[in-house]
Amino acid sequence: MTDFKARYGPWALVAGASEGLGEGFARSLARRGVNLVLVARREAKLQALARQLTSEFGVEVVARSEDLACPEAPESLLGSLDQDIGLLVFNAAYSGVGLFSEVSSTDLQKILSLNTFAPLLLARQMTPRLIARGCGGIVLMSSLSGNQGSGNIATYAASKSFNTVLAEGLWHEMKGHGVDVLACCAGAIRTPAYQSAQIGGEAPGILDPGVVAEQTLDALGSGPVVVPGTLNKLANFLMRRLLPRATAVRVMSNTTKELTR
């Protein structure tokens, strides 16, 4: 824990932190002694979580209500902070569930703005700072759905593929500067958003948010991609290495077809 704080602290910024996986990352980082800047739209939830984490772990927590889907928000956020951010965890995302032909142009724009443009801009602002520090890290949340096309969430899956490839490229560029970059390709996570969108039974390999957060943070420095969960690792190998591409698309789409708005 001390080594983690020395390498990635003293402050971490968690985007999409109000509940679910974002809260899981916040708790895992606070447990490791890292101070936090929590960013999300819902200020009341952020403030409540900030008070809990300060009380439970004794860390400093700053809550910032921001809509990172707004084009100007990612660029203005870091410039307005005085804290020495050593780790960026980008967890904010918008799914836009539905058949592509029926998803509105507004939803398509929000997916692109929040899932791809916001992490791209924040990572671009962070990398020079981390290079100057000589240590630190960036975590971009991706998804197993981004390993191939996925029906019913086609644009979301494509945006997650973007984050995986971006993280891999940054991992290569930054590793010589002492900065660790990681894409977390997660399967189903037992979050409020997932549970409200799932109309069938739970997906195979579903994990609690805290488990995903812990395994992701533990994997920092070990490579460009982590897949939390043993069953998910097996599924990842099967879908990417063994199955024909068209078959992999059908398998994933059979899972995501159960999702609803």
Q: How far is CA 48 from CA 24, 30, 119, 159, 171, in A?
A: 14, 15, 25, 30, 34
Domain ranges of the chain: 2-256
Q: How far is CA 231 from CA 107, 200, 227, 235, in A?
A: 32, 19, 10, 6
Return the SS3 of 135.
Answer: coil
Fold of 2-256: Rossmann fold (3.40.50)
From 22, 30, 24, 26, select the one nearest 5 (Cα to Cα). 30
The string of pLDDT tens digits covering residues 6-34 is 999 999 999 999 999 999 999 999 999 99
Mean pLDDT (whole number) for 174-182: 97
Active site residue 8: no
CA distance 129 to 66: 22
Active site residue 156: yes
Question: Per-residue pLDDT for 196 more than 70?
Answer: no
Half-sphere exposure (CA, 13 Å, Cβ side) for 186?
Answer: 26
Q: Which long-range contacts (CB under 8 A, 24 or more apart) does 217-223 make?
A: 217/4, 217/25, 217/28, 217/29, 217/32, 217/139, 219/182, 219/184, 220/8, 220/137, 220/139, 220/180, 220/182, 221/137, 221/180, 223/171, 223/182
Q: Letter for the amino acid at 74?
A: P
Mean pLDDT (whole number) for 132-148: 97
Pairing of strands 61-65, 35-40: parallel
Name residue, tokens 């982590």.
226
Give the whole-number percent of the chain exceeding pLDDT 90.
88
Pairing of strands 85-90, 225-226: unpaired
Catalytic residue among 5, 156, 194, 257: 156
Q: Angle between the 154-174 and 105-112 helix axes, to the nearest 10 degrees?
A: 20
Return the SS3 of 189.
Answer: strand
Question: Where are any strands of DSSP class E within the chain?
Answer: 11-15, 35-40, 61-65, 85-90, 136-143, 179-186, 225-226
Catalytic residue among 160, 194, 233, 257: 160
The string of pLDDT tens digits covering residues 71-113 is 899 989 998 999 999 999 999 999 989 999 999 999 999 999 9
Beta carbons of 65 and 42 less than 8 angstroms apart: yes
Question: Per-residue pLDDT for 163 more than 70?
Answer: yes
